[in-house]
Structure 1
Amino acid sequence: MTDLPTDLTRATAADLADALASKTISSVEVTQAHLDRIAAVDGQVHSYLHVDTEGALAQAQAVDERRHSGESLGALAGVPIAVKDVMTTRGVPTTCGSRILEGWIPPYDATVVTKLREAGLPILGKTNMDEFAMGSSTEHSAYGPSHNPWDLDRIPGGSGGGSSSVLASFQAPLATGTDTGGSIRQPAAVTATVGTKPTYGGVSRYGLVALASSLDQAGPCGRTVLDTALLHAVMGGHDPMDSTSIDAPVPPVVEAARAADVRGMRIGVVKELGGEGYQPGVRARFDESVALLEELGAEVVEVSCPNFEYALAAYYLILPSEASSNLAKFDAMRYGLRVLPEGVDAPSAEQVMAATRDAGFGAEVKRRIILGTYALSSGYYDAYYGSAQKVRALIAQDFDAAYSTVDVLVSPTAPTTAFKLGDKLEDPMAMYLNDIATIPANLAGVPGMSIPSGLADEDGLPAGIQILAPAMKDERLYSVGAALEKALVDRWGGPILDRAPSLGGAAAAKGA
């Protein structure tokens, strides 16, 4: 077993799991160490919307008791985790980063949360996010943005910036995320962490507050590929409560991560994901990573997916359309916020609904509801939503054609490193372009992963490389990701996150 660092928050989830299994440490010790870390730094990072101190320690104590009684436990039992606030969590506030759900405490758990509890992972709290997962920076959270531990003036990605920043600031060893157009992978790229979007249907969506039902996918977030694989194995699997859930075993992701072998694999570099608009330092780190894959024994070829050019446009018709439908449930009648219109003595249900939605939804949510409602309206459905679905089919065909010749595809995860808070808040199109490389995977339902590729020369900030695999071949992500991760750690003289000058990496203990 690897020796643990003195500061338990610096240990990987895999090393913590080994130490817990051998009873070298207790879950209460590990959980308390992370709660202390949260108390020390989250005032600056704002990764959490709610910290469940009592609940986390009670769950940790229960795991320790089960272990000491000789009960056989799961691989991650006792390792604490942070949960994105889009997942319903019994007895704990779930807001989706929105005022319209402020104070709502669900009476049930999402299936992912149920699986975490059954596997014995103490839940530290709920992480910040763009409101209803609409955004690429967490600046659209009604409760204020999260900050990037590499530079507190920069964004940690979105919509899952709370989950990425919680990992990069060592406030949790693991986190959950959801990915509708890149909301796991893009935050991972800009914080030097690891995030996976599983195959659509590979992880249950039951209990996830829906944004776009045909695109949303829950997935694991960690600081290493192996940690992420271990969490994927816990989260994945068939769920009869989710009609889109795949009735098949979880792919052998942990075995693939431990094997870390790319010898004999054909890897396709996507021609359309890396040209104009990509930051030179991001592109340079990507090219170096591709060269490393060749050194490790993979064959690298260029692959063209011509319809990827239209992915962004199709996505921003499909997503708002589905969002406008899904968010209709927030009507002030059953749960959540209720606002009475001013100056109306006996308001109608429609007036109360209008006043509540106006007060409870932020600008970006309103923008997408309006866009989606328009795209679905009579006379425009076929021209907009219907046409976007046809483009979606063409993108899926591009993936199929590519995977007939290669095992996986690779590209930069995001076109730039983390931008400064406020830089793109008033320019929605500039914000949307952050997802240009990640969106195709959601449209086709294929799995994708981002791992750190290094630091851009221009600003010293993290860049990421994206790996994409065929549907239900998620293990290929972990084979390639783990092999490349090891080579990059050797090249950089340690994990890239250790170079963070702010609240992450080697400097974090001083900052705390």
Structure 2
Amino acid sequence: GSAVAVAAGLAPAATGTDTGGSIRQPASFCGITGIKPTYGRASRYGMIAFASSLDQAGPMARSAEDCALLLSAMCGPDPDRDSTSLDRPAEDFSQGLAGSLGGLRIGVPKEFLGDGVAPGVRAAIDAALAEYEKLGAKRVEVSLPRTELAIPVYYIIAAAEASSNLSRFDGVKFGHRASQYKDLAEMYMKTRAEGFGDEVKRRIMIGTYVLSHGYYDAYYLQAQKVRRMIADDFQAAFRDCDVIAGPAAPTVAWALGAHSDDPVADYLADVFTLPGSLAGLPGLSLPCGFDGGMPVGLQLIGNYFAEGRLLNAAHRFQQATDWHQRTPTGF
């Protein structure tokens, strides 16, 4: 909703939350700019906790310049209201926007441009990378070999944390309460059945299962180990590059309800945003073209606390192109 409001001109900017891509993907699908900062960089106070080790707040706007202004106000320590908030001073991200991209090494993982990427999306990404080379950046081939593992790892860890976090919504103190029930147990069951949608129920059940006796070690602990390996893959890649680039999603936005009978298809669309979330890295999506009249988002991923570098790279691209000022036609 926030991304749509910005894209439609109803608001100049908006805030969002990104657990596995919920700032970057909507920004990509709507043709706007959105950034998820390093985990812990912005306070999560006021957010409904879904997956506490992944949730992060960030801004969405037409341009990287506007995102820089918002992010400067959002970042900074908040020890009294968010225990995950990092003790790192706020920055003015607008100060470094105009820096040269000369010598910037842009790593392009081979796993981000494989067979699952739509041809039109790949063409737009390649054209954007060519534009960056004109601006003085250098394209470097890198590898993130555990990219596909990010999907099962995320949907184990996030679901487990959601199962724990959402247990507080029992109709007693938080959220919806059923209007008719015979006893306390029925009030809990009816409240949660009425108050949660199908996808939320699905994730709660998955999370409860992987945390249950006999499955915790087999699923949750193993997922945490692979999560560390995914983070290590990024650090290995950053030895050869300064930022990592690729599509924010394998395709452009699909029709409303197109995946209603196949939730796994929705999960698979997260393949490029999940790895950075699991590693706690900052990620940004900016418009870079169209496929069939629908917006394509270029995702830039930086190392920890590299928000300024991402915004600089996005801003310089937007000074040289006008994709962020165009509107989609493929409705």
TM-score class normalised by the smaller sequence: over 0.9
Q: Choose which of 279, 286, 289 in structure 1 pairs with 2:118.
A: 279
Q: 2:207 aligns to what? A: 372
Given the superposition, is the C-alpha separation of residues 168 and 260 from structure 1 closer, same or farther in structure 2, using an over 3 Å criterion? Answer: farther
Residue 453 in structure 1 maps to residue 292 in structure 2: no
Secondary structure in structure 2 of the residue aligned to 1:435: coil
Q: Choose which of 287, 299, 302 in structure 1 pairs with 2:141.
A: 302
Secondary structure in structure 2 of the residue aligned to 1:417: coil
Moved over 6 A (4+): none
Q: Which amino acid in structure 1 is aligned with residue 326 of structure 2?
A: D
Q: 1:173 aligns to what? A: 12
Answer with 1 or 2: which has the greater Rg: 1
Residue 244 in structure 1 maps to residue 96 in structure 2: no
Q: Choose which of 168, 174, 193 in structure 2 pairs with 1:335.
A: 174
Superposed displacement of residue 334, structure 1: 1.5
Matched-pair contact (CA < 8 Å) for 2:168–2:174: no
Q: 1:357 aligns to what? A: 192
Q: 1:500 aligns to what? A: 328
Paired with 2:30 and 2:179, the residues of 1 have a C-alpha distance of 42
Paired with 1:167 and 1:183, the residues of 2 have a C-alpha distance of 15
Q: Could you say what the CA RMSD is over the residues aligned between the two structures, in angstroms?
A: 1.4
Q: 1:322 aligns to what? A: 161
Q: Deviations over 1:259-307 (max 9, x none)?
A: 1521111110011112111111110000011111111111111100111
Paired with 2:162 and 2:311, the residues of 1 have a C-alpha distance of 31
Aligned residues: 330
Q: Deviations over 1:100-134 (max 9, x none)?
A: xxxxxxxxxxxxxxxxxxxxxxxxxxxxxxxxxxx
Secondary structure in structure 2 of the residue aligned to 1:335: coil
Matched-pair contact (CA < 8 Å) for 1:262–1:480: yes
Q: 1:187 aligns to what? A: 26
Which residues of structure 1 form unaligned runs of 5+? 1-161, 490-494, 504-512
Matched-pair contact (CA < 8 Å) for 1:418–1:461: yes
The structure showing larger relative contact order (alpha-carbon pairs under 8 Å, at least 6 residues apart) is 2
Paired with 1:192 and 1:260, the residues of 2 have a C-alpha distance of 24
Alignment of 1:410-425 (within 5 A): 410-425=245-260
Paired with 1:238 and 1:368, the residues of 2 have a C-alpha distance of 31
Q: Deviations over 1:470-491 (max 9, x none)?
A: 01111110111111122222xx
Q: Deviations over 1:153-210 (max 9, x none)?
A: xxxxxxxxx0110001100001000000000000001111000000000000122110
Paired with 2:324 and 2:163, the residues of 1 have a C-alpha distance of 40
Given the superposition, is the C-alpha separation of residues 496 and 239 from structure 1 closer, same or farther in structure 2, using an over 3 Å criterion? Answer: closer
Q: 1:470 aligns to what? A: 303
Superposed displacement of residue 319, structure 1: 0.6
Secondary structure in structure 2 of the residue aligned to 1:468: strand
Secondary structure in structure 2 of the residue aligned to 1:186: helix
Q: Which amino acid in structure 1 is aligned with residue 93 of structure 2?
A: V
Secondary structure in structure 1 of the residue aligned to 2:146: helix
Matched-pair contact (CA < 8 Å) for 1:197–1:449: yes
Q: Choose which of 96, 105, 112 in structure 2 pairs with 1:256.
A: 96
Q: Choose which of 306, 312, 319 in structure 1 pairs with 2:151.
A: 312
Which residues of structure 2 form unaligned runs of 5+? none
Matched-pair contact (CA < 8 Å) for 1:178–1:219: yes
TM-score, normalised via structure 1 length: 0.63
Structure 1 stretch displaced more, 320-329 or 293-302 = 293-302
Matched-pair contact (CA < 8 Å) for 1:251–1:472: no
